Amino acid sequence: MKLTEPLSIDLRLDRSRHAAPQVVEKLRELILSLELAPGTVLSRPELAESFGLSQTPIRDALSQLRDEGLVDIYPQHTTAVSLIDLAAARQAHFLRQSVELEVVHVLAGKADPLLLARLRGHIEVQRQAQRQARYTDFFAADQAFHREMHQAAGVDGLWTLQQRFNGHVYRLRRLHLPEAGKAQRIVRDHERVVQALAAGDAAAAQAALREHLSGTLSHVEEIRRRYPQYLVQG
């Protein structure tokens, strides 16, 4: 696919940095936002032209995205954005929930007013994005909300680690986000988490978070019916 149509991100690269990591970042964002939909064929020559690069950094970037499960490379045949694998999504969800339940437990013992203010700021960004149906901005604010909690708990490295495995579940959530009431429920869930943290109630924070993180996976069959071409069947 040649990236010439209007996109949500700028493909221009910072020439003071290595090219391949920047290509990874930009292609990952396009894949997670579904601008590059599951199953989209990726042509190395066309990607090289779009980014103004040789094929070597493109090849290196695609190899990293393959390792993250976002791209399938078939030697001597084709390269394509991977379909959404439900088994991989469930494993990523298990990992994230296990970590983040402990994160909110730790934070409930701190009740840091500056952290609470930052979390409420992310919620307000989400609320405004939801009103204007700006789902890419909404998703970015959602990510910022959860990363903020990891940073405050001193485990930002675990957030970075999770990103290597979360591509399938993130894309499921992106498919589900435009459904009626979904964005509003996410905002409400985040508000419940912050209220529990402010009250120092670890059990309530964990209950709100568990319900929040399970929202998309509980609607997998509905998502599969709507987008069968995007999911690995079985």
**CATH 1.10.10.10 domain residues, the chain:** 19-81
In which residue ranges of the chain is CATH 1.20.120.530 found? 86-230
CATH 2.60.40.1170 fits 86-230, yes or no: no
Over the stretch 212-221, which tens digit does the pLDDT of each residue have? 998 788 889 9
pLDDT for the residue numbered 75:
82
**DSSP letters of the chain?**
--TTS--SS-----TTS-HHHHHHHHHHHHHHTTSS-TT-B--HHHHHHHHT--HHHHHHHHHHHHHTTSEEEETTTEEEEPPB-HHHHHHHHHHHHHHHHHHHHHHHTT--HHHHHHHHHHHHHHHHHHHTT-HHHHHHHHHHHHHHHHHHTT-HHHHHHHHTT-HHHHHHHHHHTTSTTHHHHHHHHHHHHHHHHHHT-HHHHHHHHHHHHTTTGGGHHHHHHH-GGGB---
Q: What is the pLDDT of residue 214?
A: 86
Q: Which residue has the higher pLDDT, 127 or 216?
A: 127
Span 45-59, average pLDDT: 92
pLDDT at 62: 96
pLDDT top residue among 219 and 97: 97
Q: Which CATH architecture has domain 19-81?
A: Orthogonal Bundle (1.10)
pLDDT, tens digit (0-9, with 9 covering 90-100), for 25-49? 999 999 998 999 999 999 999 999 9
* pLDDT of residue 109 exceeding 90: yes
